[in-house]
Amino acid sequence: MKKILCLLSVICFQHLSAQQRNIPSRPKLVVGLVIDQMRWDYLYRFKSNYGKEGFARLMSEGFSCENTMVPYVPTYTAPGHSSIYTGSVPAINGIVGNDWYDFDSKKNRYCTEDSTVNTVGSLSVLGKMSPRNLLVTTVTDELRLATNFKSKVIGISLKDRGAILPAGHAANAAYWYDDTNGRWISSTYYQSQLPSWLTNYNEKNWVEKAMANDWNLLLPKEKYGQSSEDNKPYEGNLPEEKSPVFPHRLSQINKARFSAFKYTPFASTYTFNMAKEVITQEKMGAGDVTDMLTVSISSTDYAGHTFGPNSLEIEDTYLRLDKDIAEFLQFLDAKIGKGNYLLFLTADHAGAHVPGFAEEHNIPAGNYSSGTLSKELKDLLLLKFGSDTMFIKIQNNQVYLDESFVNRRDEMTAKVKQTIIQFLSDQPFVAFAFSNDNISNATIPQPIKERLINGYNVKRSGQIGYVLEPGYIGMGNTGTTHGAWNPYDAHIPLVWFGKNIKAGHTNKETLMTDIAPTLSALLHIQMPNGSVGKVLPLIPE
């Protein structure tokens, strides 16, 4: 009997050992790479001019989710970064836009603003930021919790929201760009002073040196087969420039040079160089637990807004970004080791073609002014009801009304709301208008309705919403924007690369909210506490 029990114990031990051996080990370092405003089609559109070691390497050695969509509106930067790392949607995580109207304070609130903290590394107010407006945990928070806070988590981006929201509540640090002096800064939320290595790094004046050189095309102009001619009337200008043409004379930009730098591809290189410095100086990936670095490339968004997807500037920006990615992967290979790190590349949103470009090619599109829309609505309310005080503002394609007026829920309230909905519905650029507390009953196609519900937070959203006709944007006649449910704003890249990832792709629908739970599964940690995404199988087709 004892021999049988001993034999069974040995068999059970061997079985458990085999199971343990089959559990993939965690990577030494995870890098979350978000390319701000990157359309999915950029993976292929500029492919002929990409090198072999950047996007091409990610696609050939990694796993690409080709049909990844943003499952909510509005598709903006702050909600995008939040949803990537939380696996949740604005209805849950509370980040309903880059900013929103706060009913309690009766003023606008920026997504990461925090008056209780101060700037670290600068005399400006641009460091008065923290993740406190985010209502749920991130996958980076869960990694810290899973390792009893032994894992190191750091976020970097030119934009404060691109650094802070991905890094989460429990991050060791987050660093972003101060465009008043060209330096990396942080907040007392994380630390009382910058680490000495970053102070020394800032003193090298990288931005001043970059802006001393002009922005010329990387390749001969005839190689740029995916762009319109230079200097289209619907393109915007860099600060202090008078026309959107190459070469861009960066050396002649004076007062606005630190701000103008953000629009150039050299700001992407600057961000990747910072990422390398953080990994080296903080010894990320060198310990016994997994560390995580979140990197958001913001210059692609600044350039996209200004010049549009079909510009020479955007094509050149992505060719240079390809080189930056190649060099960063080579750095990770050497520093962390091939097969020791996991990286995913995605975007917070995509971007629409400039309406002027679309109209030039007989594609339905157009611009409208939200300022004009607000004025006309106020005039209508004053004319019909003798007062416009119930109207606060239009923001994020939503109408904010005075909360005390709405809470009355009387006949007047109902008439005002219906008047506003009818007014919006009558606009030629509006496809649907509705009351946010009754979206489920609105006559709107189900896929769009689901995105609207996912983006509505009862405490932070407006009471009435509207959806634009395809191709329409609410801004001036130059440049473009994003924010809509349409594929041009919501179809984003998602590529997994590195440790435990098999090469391949899938065309099955994937959602932005699937990223955090999938990463959690790969790391064997709990998914974020507001996650509604699913774990992707990452099985090659």
> Which residues are tagged catalytic?
77
Tokens of 500: 């435990």
Dihedral sign, Cα of residue 76, residue 166, residue 206, residue 343: negative
Q: Is 291 helix (H, G, I), strand (E, B) or coil?
A: strand
Nearby residues of 537 by Cβ (< 8 Å), 6 or more positions away = none
* Residue ranges with strand state E in 458-512: 464-468, 472-473, 491-492, 494-498, 504-511
Beta carbons of 319 and 46 less than 8 angstroms apart: yes
* Residue ranges with strand state E in 284-409: 291-297, 341-346, 366-367, 391-395, 398-401
Tokens of 382: 């004053």
Nearby residues of 78 by Cβ (< 8 Å), 6 or more positions away = 95, 97, 98, 111, 112, 161, 165
**In terms of Cα–Cα distance, which of 300, 311, 350 is closest to 488?**
350
Tokens of 257: 């040079």
Residue whose token pair is 């040995």:
10
Q: What CA–CA distance (Å, rounded) separates 378 from 375? A: 5
**Segment holding 35, helix H or strand E:** strand 29-35
Tokens of 277: 């410095």
**In terms of Cα–Cα distance, which of 473, 447, 382, 449 is closest to 419?**
382
Total length of the chain:
541
Whole-Å CA distances, 323 to 34, 210, 269, 329, 494: 16, 17, 9, 10, 19
Which strands make up the sheet holding 391-395, listed edge to edge? 391-395, 398-401, 464-468, 430-435
Q: What CA–CA distance (Å, rounded) separates 277 from 258? A: 21
Beta carbons of 500 and 55 less than 8 angstroms apart: no
CA angle 372, 38, 132 (to 5 degrees): 75
**Segment holding 63, helix H or strand E:** strand 63-69
Instruction: Render the burial of 289-312: b for 16+ CB within 10 Å, e for the rest.
Output: bbbbbbbbbbbbbbbbbbbbbbbb
**In terms of Cα–Cα distance, which of 464, 467, 424 is closest to 449?**
467
Q: What CA–CA distance (Å, rounded) separates 155 from 293? A: 6
